[in-house]
Amino acid sequence: MLPLAHHLKLVDFKPLSTPFCEEVLQGLTSSPKYIPSKFFYDKKGSLLFEEICTLPEYYPTRTETWILNQFGKEIAECIGKGALIIEFGSGSSTKTRLLLDSLDTPSAYMPIDISKEFLEESAQSIAKDYPQIEIMPVCADYSKFFPLPEPYTLYKRKVGFFPGSTIGNLKPEEAIEFLKRIAQWCGKNGGLLLGTDLKKDHATLERAYNDAQGVTAQFNLNLIDRINTELQPTPLLSGFRHFAFYNEQYGRIEMHLVSTHTQKVNIKGRTVTFAEGEHIITEYSHKYDLSDIQLLAKKAGMKLEHSWSDPNNLFSVHYLSIL
């Protein structure tokens, strides 16, 4: 048995100290223009995303929750006893609770998140409710490599947890690179529990990103507010509209912001111009069927051991082992 440290030492890689301004400038001076979707999740954006998860049109969250509940026992069998669960982008750790409840004596949980505020809050509350589990919060941007803090090597079985179809934000080549990094972190005896959205009819997909209440539009447009607030005093972007559609060729939902008029702003001494109708790409959300996942796993040096899905085949959860 490992000693328990309930003082909850958060390891902080200070992921936000450089990026926003530079990455926005980089994206808005590229062609086509883009803004990395990780920037959706400031305080306001995180709250809007939580609201999205409860919308009738947005099926992924409730379907994945159903799958984790329904197949908890089988999932626990795949993961095994005494594992260290490493979650990438833990947010409020709501789904983790479902997982921890099903698991056979998990030893430790390492939530990794870019937002320190959320991370501290949720780590505290998990530590309180699961006193027998070692909690090791890490504040970091998991889209870049960093060494996991010790004592993670003490755990013989390390299993990544990447729910919510977040991997869909990455292009397939990037997803493979990310899976390879997870394989390095978790090692040969380890695995990954991965949630991905399934391919399906376009209407259902497009409805999920164009909800009737316009919450997804607000979530997308919050990026413009963020730029205007955080890049003060210069940028004053205005008149953008939300646009989301399913790109069949690439098997992904794309979210864009469209400038409704010609405009020009100054960012760090550089002039950025927008034509009327010009798009900024803000998010890709790739959809995978089982054969896509099988191929992805293979290319990353993993093996697809098991997939679970709901009766309507909306969403799926997979256990991949590291080869």
Binding site for ligand AVJ (CB under 6 A): 52, 60, 164-166, 168-169, 209, 216, 283, 285
Nearer CB in complex with ligand AVJ: 138/215: 215
Minimum Å distance from CB 282 to ligand AVJ? 9
Contact of 167 with 280, CB cutoff 8 Å:
no
Minimum Å distance from CB 36 to ligand AVJ? 12
Minimum Å distance from CB 48 to ligand AVJ? 9
Nearer CB in complex with ligand AVJ: 27/163: 163
Minimum Å distance from CB 254 to ligand AVJ? 10
Minimum Å distance from CB 60 to ligand AVJ? 6
Radius of gyration of the chain (CA): 20
Q: CA–CA separation, 91 vs 280, rounded Å?
A: 26
Cβ-in-10-Å burial (0-12, 13-18, 19+) of 89 comes to buried
Nearer CB in complex with ligand AVJ: 37/102: 37
State the Cα torsion 73-75-76-81 to the nearest 10°: 150
Q: CA–CA separation, 221 vs 219, rounded Å?
A: 6
* Residue 266, φ and ψ in degrees, nearest 5: -110, 120
Nearer CB in complex with ligand AVJ: 46/107: 46
Residue nearest to ligand AVJ (CB): 285
Nearer CB in complex with ligand AVJ: 58/155: 58
Contact of 253 with 287, CB cutoff 8 Å:
yes
